[in-house]
Amino acid sequence: DAMVIQNPRYQVTQFGKPVTLSCSQTLNHNVMYWYQQKSSQAPKLLFHYYDKDFNNEADTPDNFQSRRPNTSFCFLDIRSPGLGDAAMYLCATSREGHRQETQYFGPGTRLLVL
Amino acid sequence: DAKTTQPTSMDCAEGRAANLPCNHSTISGNEYVYWYRQIHSQGPQYIIHGLKNNETNEMASLIITEDRKSSTLILPHATLRDTAVYYCIVSLMYSGGGADGLTFGKGTHLIIQP
């Protein structure tokens, strides 16, 4: 029944070592989002894909990139993780991206940077 | 998007109704009120949304004041599993520019007491 799947739930990486987080969806939704949630803070949107069109938030660091090879999968790449990038990373989907639509979130991947 | 103000935390006894307030005094006519919640270590979950009229679904009721400057989320019979951070989000009905993510505020940490 899982609709938005994120693996792994916990990821440990080393300072400066590239890391990729994965998200897949079974909803066939057009839009996929990535949010970053630091400890005791609210989720913050990093970027989203509308189909194959990538949309970056203005304040998302260049260190963060994303790929969407097909409708079902979306990846978050952190090129050179710093200690400040330790956070929960949440993937979400919506059908067409209209704000009145529900967004469906995955369980998140908690990233630890050593 | 209009800014929202919520209490930082609230307690509620199990079995009682939990009433969570949200102020959105700068809301504009085409902005919806959304509620999401986030249980510890999980992704946010959609609860309900509305524009002007009160709304009810299987999870909760949403009461919006006539001037739309505030709203209340009501969980009619709170259980321990309702302990979570509840986010009130005000957002345009349709941005017109394609997909948009959610802008989360600090939310209310609701604690259901046994």
- Name the token pair of A11: 């990821």
Could you tell me the strand order of the sheet in which A73-78 lies? Answer: A4-7, A19-25, A73-78, A64-67
Interval B45-64: pLDDT, tens: 999 999 998 999 999 999 99
Beta strands in A1-114 (DSSP E): 4-7, 10-13, 19-25, 31-37, 44-50, 53-56, 64-67, 73-78, 87-94, 104-105, 109-113
CB contact under 8 A, A48 and B101: yes
Could you tell me the strand order of the sheet in which B84-92 lies? Answer: B9-13, B108-113, B84-92, B31-38, B45-50
DSSP state at residue A83: G
Nearest to B99 among A55, A91, A105 (CB): A55
Contact B22, B73 (CB under 8 A): yes
CB contact under 8 A, A100 and B102: no
CB contact under 8 A, B101 and A90: no
- pLDDT for the residue numbered B46: 93
Contact A80, A16 (CB under 8 A): yes
Residue whose tokens read 């970056």: A56
Q: Model confidence at A1, in pLDDT bands (50, 70, 90)?
A: low
Residue B22 CA to residue B105 CA, distance in Å, equals 11
Interval B94-114: pLDDT, tens: 554 455 778 888 999 999 999
- pLDDT for the residue numbered B98: 52
Residue A103 CA to residue A93 CA, distance in Å, equals 6
In sequence order, which residues have a C-beta less than 8 Å from that of residue B76 and are 6 or more positions away?
B17, B60, B61
pLDDT at A44 over 80: yes
pLDDT at A82 over 60: yes
- pLDDT for the residue numbered A96: 78
In sequence order, which residues have a C-beta less than 8 Å from that of residue A94 and are 6 or more positions away?
A29, A30, A31, A33, A101, A102, A103, A104, B99
Is A95 in the B-facing interface, judged by CB distances under 8 Å?
A: no
